[in-house]
Amino acid sequence: MCAKPRLANAYQPFAVNVMNFTARFKYLMGLPGKIYRQQPGRLTKSIELDQQNCFVKLHFGVGWKEIFKNLLQLRLPIIGAKTEYLALKKMQQLHIDSLEPVEFAESGINPATQQSYLVTKALQNMISLEDLCAEWQHNKPSIQFKRDLIRALAVIAKKLHDNGINHRDFYLCHFLFDPQYYQQTQKIKLYLIDLHRTQIRTKTPWRWQVKDIAGLYFSALKLPLTRRDLFCFMQIYDQGNKFWQEVEVKAWDLYLKTYFVKQKIGNKTILFDAAMRDQLTLEKFFQQPNAIIQQAQILKNDATTTVAKYSDFLVKRYNARSLGKIFKRLFRTSRARRCLMQALRLRHLGIATPKPIAIIEQLTGVIKRESYLVIEYLEGEDLLALLNTHPEKIYDVAEKIHSLFKVLYTIHTAHGDMKATNLWMAQQQIELLDLDGMRQYSNEYALKKALVKDKKRFLKNWQQHESFHQVFQHCLGKNYFKYFLDTRALACPQPVRETKLRLKQLTAGELLTVLCKDEITVLDLKAMCQVLNYEFVSSKQYTDYFEIALKVKA
């Protein structure tokens, strides 16, 4: 069976207009040009036809093995160029910029040996989004440009999925940015390419929407994106919390498969950061983890966990307890893997936690036994020890705790075990530890309930320290900043001015805590209270600041 080449548009016939498919196929295959991709059954290269730059994709037949492999995975096999040709025509209907099809033809009725080709016009002077965004690590773009780019991606994704299309390779590298158009108009223009695996239906299934967006998110995980950048995308591609949680899980699974190395040693499955491949200390640990832990500096050892410092790493072993607990975790992710996934996610979202290095999962048949987590070791101390030795840091810590809970609410996450020992002060920031109990919530009520539980557990740490308990109780309330004012960074007369403004917002009997850096401000506030209707309750001096309590009189 031979097919006459179909002209995709009003493009003039090429100089060599051979209507026989076999001759045309051989002619295109024989044209000189740079080969961009060569895989079994498929070739992509640039060519010049009729004095125009083009791309040709030649399909030689996928074979029965590939067809049966896809069918066993419940997928329709891609057997030729027709899928991409139809997808490009659909892009034109939806006004999504993509390659312009010029000529398409196919020949043969046997799906395993069917031949086809697709010729498209070449896109000139374009930049792959992957290459463009890779420069952001060293040269940060303007916020406006970054947000415009994110919005453009979100609009394309939404338009595709709303019209029953999923890409299946929805990565940054498959978007081309037009710099010349941007220079002329200051508007973003993106071209979507590599549509050979695209699926077109009346409605895009949920799981394929998740896979597409997860692929896009995965390809952006190493970029310096903020939570606001992510919310910018979510605002346009509007979905519920459950959808975004599934996207996160899928994206981080892809991350682990790409940037972590999986290794089997006996009954142990090891997953470690590929960048740490040459660490000899880790190799020794992977061979005999229990022996290394016994030789290392033990920091904690109880029925559930053993924690040790080994070289520059902190090793945590999750001990197998009763037989009931072992069977309970039979079909669940190991605690070490949950910690790894949550740590990667939190670090990407800008929440401090030690860098995860590796995990070891020990199996007996299908039964999960001990698992091990290796993270970087950070010099510091837990909040309880810190405030016992440096009580003057209470307000700095309280402000950080307030911000931490605010962020956890924003990302719909609760920690699950807010002991003071799980909050580590290192490098002037609070690092979250013990993430195996951390959970994400799609339901708002369940989230608030879990965060209330976290707050109660956190306050329980300070029952023996009344002054600390009171400050933290205020900082975890809704109106923390209404009753607290930090003027240490302000120059005279701003502290007094800001204090007056804040006191005007309070009602009779309410207290305001003010922090200031010098004694002159204390005297100024005393003088202000004598003139105005306020009471100077107390003043306490610390190493480098003063804490003042003011009260609104009845």
Whether 42 maps to a domain, the answer reads: yes
pLDDT (0 to 100) of residue 8 = 43
Query: 323 CB contacts (<8 Å, ≥6 apart)?
Result: none
Residue closest to 447 by CA, chosen among 411, 480, 476: 411
The reply to whether 368 and 264 lie within a common domain is yes
pLDDT (0 to 100) of residue 481 = 66
Residue 256 burial (CB count, 10 A): 17
In a 10 Å sphere around its CB, with 0-12 CB exposed, 13-18 middle and 19+ buried, how is residue 252 labelled?
buried
Helices (H) and strands (E) in the chain, counts: 19, 27
Among the listed ranges 19-33, 218-232, 471-485, which one has the minimum average pLDDT value? 471-485
CATH number of the structural domain spanning residue 108:
3.30.200
The reply to whether 114 and 160 lie within a common domain is no
Residue ending a domain, choose from 74, 92, 121: 121
How many structural domains comprise the chain?
5
Please determine, for residue 544, whether its predicted confidence score (pLDDT) is greater than 50: yes
CA distance linking residue 485 with residue 538, whole number of Å:
15
Please write down the HEC assignment for all residues of 151-206.
HHHHHHHHHHHHCCEECCCCCHHHEEECHHHHHHHCCCCEEECCCCCCEECCCCCH
* More confidently predicted of 68 and 151: 151
Whether 453 maps to a domain, the answer reads: yes
Whether residue 374 contacts residue 282, with contact meaning beta carbons closer than 8 Å, is answered with yes
Whether 526 maps to a domain, the answer reads: yes
What sections of 220-263 are H helices per DSSP? 227-236, 241-259
pLDDT (0 to 100) of residue 540 = 84
The reply to whether 180 and 216 lie within a common domain is yes
Whether residue 516 contacts residue 539, with contact meaning beta carbons closer than 8 Å, is answered with no
CA distance linking residue 530 with residue 235, whole number of Å:
51
Whether 251 maps to a domain, the answer reads: no
CA distance linking residue 46 with residue 95, whole number of Å:
25
DSSP secondary structure, 122-161, as one string = PPPS-EEHHHHHHGGGTSPPPHHHHHHHHHHHHHHHHHHH
pLDDT (0 to 100) of residue 155 = 96
Residue ending a domain, choose from 185, 206, 239: 239
Please determine, for residue 479, whether its predicted confidence score (pLDDT) is greater than 70: no
pLDDT (0 to 100) of residue 243 = 94
CATH number of the structural domain spanning residue 435:
1.10.510.10
The reply to whether 534 and 470 lie within a common domain is no
The reply to whether 445 and 432 lie within a common domain is yes
The reply to whether 181 and 233 lie within a common domain is yes
CA distance linking residue 235 with residue 20, whole number of Å:
51
The per-residue pLDDT of the chain, averaged, comes to 87
- DSSP-derived letter for residue 46 is E
CATH number of the structural domain spanning residue 516:
3.30.110.40
> pLDDT by residue (tens digit) across 115-169?
899 999 999 899 999 999 999 988 999 999 999 999 999 999 999 999 999 999 9
List the 190-192 sheet strands across, edge first: 127-128, 175-177, 190-192
Whether 248 maps to a domain, the answer reads: no
Residue 13 — pLDDT band, cuts 50, 70, 90?
very low
The reply to whether 12 and 113 lie within a common domain is yes
CA distance linking residue 548 with residue 498, whole number of Å:
14
Report the alpha-carbon angle 357-363-367, nearest 5. 125
Please determine, for residue 9, whether its predicted confidence score (pLDDT) is greater than 50: no
Whether 461 maps to a domain, the answer reads: yes
pLDDT, mean of residues 262-278: 87
Whether 32 maps to a domain, the answer reads: yes
Active site residue ranges: 169
CA distance linking residue 473 with residue 465, whole number of Å:
12
What is the Cα gyration radius of the chain?
A: 31
The reply to whether 417 and 435 lie within a common domain is yes
Whether 66 maps to a domain, the answer reads: yes
In a 10 Å sphere around its CB, with 0-12 CB exposed, 13-18 middle and 19+ buried, how is residue 482 labelled?
middle
- Strand 199-200 vs strand 260-265: parallel, antiparallel, or unpaired? unpaired
Residue ending a domain, choose from 334, 353, 376: 376
The reply to whether 362 and 293 lie within a common domain is yes
Helix (H), strand (E) at residue 272? strand 268-273
The reply to whether 165 and 232 lie within a common domain is yes
CA distance linking residue 362 with residue 387, whole number of Å:
39
Helix (H), strand (E) at residue 473? helix 466-475
399 phi/psi in degrees, rounded to 5: -65, -40
- Cis-peptide, bond into residue 493, ω within 30° of zero: yes
pLDDT (0 to 100) of residue 489 = 79
Strand ranges (E), 409-527:
413-414, 423-426, 429-432, 439-440, 484-486, 511-516
> What residue numbers bound the domain in which 195 lies?
127-239
pLDDT, mean of residues 396-423: 90
The reply to whether 171 and 231 lie within a common domain is yes
The reply to whether 392 and 318 lie within a common domain is no
> pLDDT by residue (tens digit) across 489-527?
788 888 888 888 888 888 888 888 888 888 888 898 988
